[in-house]
Every structure is written in C-alpha cells, then in structure tokens.
Structure 1
Amino acid sequence: MACDNPRRCQDSACCSQGKKYQWPELLGKDAMEAKKIIESDNPEVTVEIETKGIYNFNPDFCCNRVIIFANHGFVDIPFPQIG
C-alpha cells in the first residue's frame, strides 16, 4: 500500500483526525486478533504484522499504516500505533 501522509505529520495523533491512533491495550494479545481490532477501530489504516527480529520496517511515516511487532504470534513492544 502506498504511504499516505497528506499533512506531513510526524506523529500518530496528527494523523488520527479524531479516530483511534494507538493501541497499548493490545500488548501481549494475539497478533491476528489485534489486527482485526485495529482495522475495526480505524478502517482507514492498513495493518502489517512484522515478526520480531525480522523487521522489514519502512522508515517513512505513514498516516495509513499500523505495524504490529509480533513475538511468537503475540503483540510485542512497541505497542501498535499509526506511523
């Protein structure tokens, strides 16, 4: 998915436009379930799950992306947020 950052935001709150933008409560939860919750809370984002230790992290800050860092299938730190 193409990176979208129309207002040149540098933080998650800037991107949110009143929608939920961070999910600290999902730490330790099943990564696939967390993906469904995030997409339900904010349908304007695409959620990517990255396996801990094998990050294909894109350095561009994107308002339409949430990356879940997973360890053994569970959400690990940092907690999921737009970016």
Structure 2
Amino acid sequence: MSDATATPALRPHTSLFTRLRIVEAELEALKALVAGLKEDHEALREDRDEWRWRAEYLLAESRKGFLDRWGQRIAEVATPFARRLNALL
C-alpha cells in the first residue's frame, strides 16, 4: 500500500501557542549559552594577553642581563653626582 492511501497515524496536536513558547524557551537557552561562550572567550583572550605580556617582559629582562640592569640604576644615580663634580672642576 502506498503512503498516500495509508491512514495517517494519530498524533496529539499541540497548539500553535504551546509550540511557540517551546521554541522561545529553546531560543532563550541558546542565547544564554552563546553569552556564556562569549564570556569564556573574552576571559581566555585576557589570559592570553597577560601571558604574552609576561613572556615578552621576561625575554626582555633576560636579554638585558643582571649587570645591565644594575648598570642602568647606577648610571641614574651617578649622573647627577658626576654633573656636580664636573661643574666644580
């Protein structure tokens, strides 16, 4: 027997309003899920930027070396003293 002549199976019909409310509830759930994913994505992006900054800072510090950092600090302190001493001579 073909499908066209078969008797249709009886299905409980839900009202259009009920189906609309179900779809709206699912839509709100999906919106909440997307909002949560956006928050997680932004947090991951901030963590990535923080780790990148730390890595760049550590690389810059390792390139300078220990003596170079102290040399800069000594130069900052000694420069005014050297200028005063030079002015006296």
Please confirm whether the aligned pair reaches a TM-score higher than 0.5, indicating the same fold: no
Largest Rg, 1 or 2: 2
Which structure has the higher relative contact order (CA within 8 Å, separation 6+)? 1
Whose strand proportion is higher, 1 or 2? Answer: 1
TM-score class normalised by the smaller sequence: under 0.3
- TM-score, length-normalised on structure 1? 0.17
- When the two structures are superposed, what TM-score results if normalisation uses the length of structure 2? 0.16
